[in-house]
Structure 1
Amino acid sequence: MTKRERTRAALLQAAFELFAERGYDATTTKAIADRAGVTEMTLFRHFPAKASLVVDDPYDPLIADAVRARPANEQAIVAAARAVLDAWTAVEPPAVEAVRERLRLVAETPSLLPALAAGSRETERAIGQALVDRGDDRATAGVVAASVVAGLNAALLQWAVRSDDDLGGAIAIAVHALAGGAE
Structure 2
Amino acid sequence: MSERKPTLRERQRSETRHAIQTHAVRLFTDRGYDAVTVADVAEAAGVSAMTVYRHFPTKEDLVLVDQPARLIAERVAASAADEPVVRRVGGALVEAAAELTGVAASAAGERFLLDCLRLMVATPALRARHLDSQYALQEVVVDALGCDTTDPEAVFRARAATSACLAAMHTALTRWADDDGRTSLPDLIARALDAGAGGNG
Q: 1:129 to 1:141 in 2, by over 3 A?
A: same
Q: 1:177 to 1:127 in 2, by over 3 A?
A: farther
CA contact (8 A) 1:78 1:178 kept: no
Q: 1:161 to 1:110 in 2, by over 3 A?
A: farther
Report what 1:114 is aligned to.
128
Output the amino acid matched with 1:177. Answer: A
CA contact (8 A) 2:94 2:190 kept: yes
**Matching residue within 63, 71, 77 for 1:68:** 77
Aligned residue pairs: how many? Answer: 182
Give ranges in structure 1 of 5+ residues lacking alignment: none
Alpha-carbon deviations, 1:158-182, whole Å to 9, x = none?
Answer: 211223413223222233334555x
Output the amino acid matched with 1:152. Answer: M
Report what 2:189 is aligned to.
171
- Higher RCO (CA < 8 A, seq sep 6+): 1
CA contact (8 A) 1:67 1:79 kept: yes
Output the amino acid matched with 2:129. Answer: A
CA contact (8 A) 2:90 2:190 kept: no
Deviates more, 1:131-140 or 1:6-15: 131-140
Output the amino acid matched with 1:78. Answer: R
Output the amino acid matched with 1:169. Answer: D
CA contact (8 A) 2:147 2:154 kept: no
Query: How much has 1:133 moved relative to structure 2?
Result: 4.3
Whole-Å separation in 2 of the counterparts to 1:127 and 1:86: 14
Query: How much has 1:120 moved relative to structure 2?
Result: 0.2
Question: Superposition pairs for residues 87-98 of structure 1, below 5 Å?
Answer: 87-91=96-100, 92-94=104-106, 95-98=109-112
Whole-Å separation in 2 of the counterparts to 1:64 and 1:54: 20
**Matching residue within 94, 102, 106 for 1:85:** 94
Whole-Å separation in 2 of the counterparts to 1:134 and 1:87: 25
CA contact (8 A) 2:147 2:158 kept: no
Whole-Å separation in 1 of the counterparts to 2:82 and 2:30: 50
Q: TM-score, normalised by structure 2?
A: 0.80
Q: TM-score, normalised by structure 1?
A: 0.88
Query: How much has 1:6 moved relative to structure 2?
Result: 2.4
Query: How much has 1:72 moved relative to structure 2?
Result: 2.0
Alpha-carbon deviations, 1:129-171, whole Å to 9, x = none?
Answer: 1223489921111111211111111210221122341322322
Whole-Å separation in 1 of the counterparts to 2:41 and 2:165: 34
Query: How much has 1:122 moved relative to structure 2?
Result: 1.0
Give ranges in structure 2 of 5+ residues lacking alignment: 1-7
Residues 1:53 and 2:58 aligned together: no
Alpha-carbon deviations, 1:50-108, whole Å to 9, x = none?
Answer: 11111233221221121122222211112211121122333351222211111011112
CA contact (8 A) 1:80 1:148 kept: yes
CA contact (8 A) 1:18 1:27 kept: yes
Output the amino acid matched with 2:88. Answer: A
**Matching residue within 11, 16, 19 for 1:10:** 19
